[in-house]
Amino acid sequence: PAVWADFNAAGMVSGHAYGKSLRTVKTCVGSEWCRFGTQDSTGLGIKLEKMCWGAWTPHKFKIAVSGCPRNCAEATIKDFGVVCVESGYELHIGGNGGVKVRATDLLCKVATEEEVLEHCAAFLQLYREQAHYLERTAPWLERVGLSYIREQVVEDARQRSALRERFLHAQQYAQRDPWAQIAGSDEASRGFAPLKVLGEG
């Protein structure tokens, strides 16, 4: 608990590292530090993480932002991947690494960071509402079909906006660090205290 309290005091949240939730957003160094970068992938990754952290999902959810088509952040094997290009951003969904590798499907192309955030929130909320518990985005996408997700998130602007609003509303209550509750409570912290050794004072 003392370590968690130190993290909290420094403004770092660590409580969702192992849950069915967003993992740390992965980025490359982008146009700020790389001659090949087409957009500020690091800045966009920070915005995505600030928007999405704390959201509980049917399974772990991984996001990556690559600053150019060289794809150093491996965005095309993530649940939601952004590949920056000269004209804007390619949005990819349904990727998977590990034992069953699956390349993403292209969801759409957008021109602005705001559109990336909007589509990400809408996709994430659709996944939260409609996927089965413990179903990653890859098998969910294969089950419902790419065309269905495009209809909901890309083609229907009103539906996309509604999904985004529901996600952002839920985030007002979800963005709490679970470890902070333990670190700030003497009673909850007691379960992590070392046992008294018999024979000592």
* Tens digits of residue pLDDT in 83-142: 999 999 999 999 999 999 999 999 999 999 999 999 999 999 999 999 999 999 999 999
Say whether pLDDT at 148 is over 90.
Answer: yes
- Domain borders along the chain are 18-176
18-176: CATH topology: Sulfite Reductase Hemoprotein; domain 1 (3.30.413)
Exposure string for 17-44, b = 16+ CB within 10 A, e = fewer = eeeebbbebbbbebbeebeebbbbbbeb
pTM score, two decimals? 0.89
